[in-house]
Every structure is written in structure tokens, then in C-alpha cells.
Amino acid sequence: MDIFCKIIDGEIPTNKIYEDDLVIVIMDVNPKSNGHSLVIPKKHYDDVFDIDKETLSHMWDVARDINKLIEKKLHSNGATFEINYGIAQDVKHIHLHIIPRYKYEDIASVEEIYKVLISK
């Protein structure tokens, strides 16, 4: 069982910022930028060639919504959306990275960013 399956099953705590029937969105524990998040399907799929089109499309829809939240709350100036495959894929459970981009980057802790993103 991979680390994402354990997170989904509640075996490993995480900074979850969104959840529905198909996916969860968590903060990356080693962020490349403030708000770096992962959209992860709850059902295990190894990679982009293993997942059904409906779930993949839903992941993109959620990623767009989460990116809007990040833009609003963290004032990002753009984003990189990334899905790794093969040797580039550290965890063999498909996930979509949302990596916010900023003109001026001042990296804050995951905990500080998490509190901002979940605040009302």
C-alpha cells in the first residue's frame, strides 16, 4: 500500500484542504512554493495511463477550483499543473501537482499556508 492510500484510509495524518467522493487535495509535505498541493484520486490508479477519463477530468476540475482558492488567499500570479509518469513518479499513485507561482517568493511553512487556505 502506497503512502497516498494510507492517507486516504486515515492511517497517516495530513493537511487536507478538500475532499469529495472521488478525490482529496492535500498540501505537499515538501512544497516547491507556497500552496503546493496534490489532487489525489481516492481509488488507486498507478499512473496517467491507468486512470479512467472521468476521474482524470474530475481531478482537473478540482485542480482549477483549488488554484482559484490559492490565487484568492495567497495571491499567486500563476501556476504549474504537473502529473509525473514513469521514472519521474516518486509515488506510484497518480496525483496532480498544483504548484503556485509568484513574482516574489517568500516561502512559509506548510502549517502557516494550510491555516490560510482553510480559513473562512
- Considering Cα of 44, then 48, then 49, then 52, what sign does the dihedral take? positive
Question: Cα separation of 35 and 51, whole Å?
Answer: 25
Q: What's the DSSP call for residue 44?
A: -
Residue of 74, 76, 89, 112 whose CA lies nearest to 38: 89
Of the listed 36, 93, 95, 97, which one is catalytic? 95
Roughly how many angstroms between the first and final C-alpha of the chain, as a whole number? 34
58 annotated active-site: no
Sequence-distant (≥ 6) Cβ neighbours of residue 58 within 8 angstroms? 22, 23
Residues annotated as part of the active site: 95
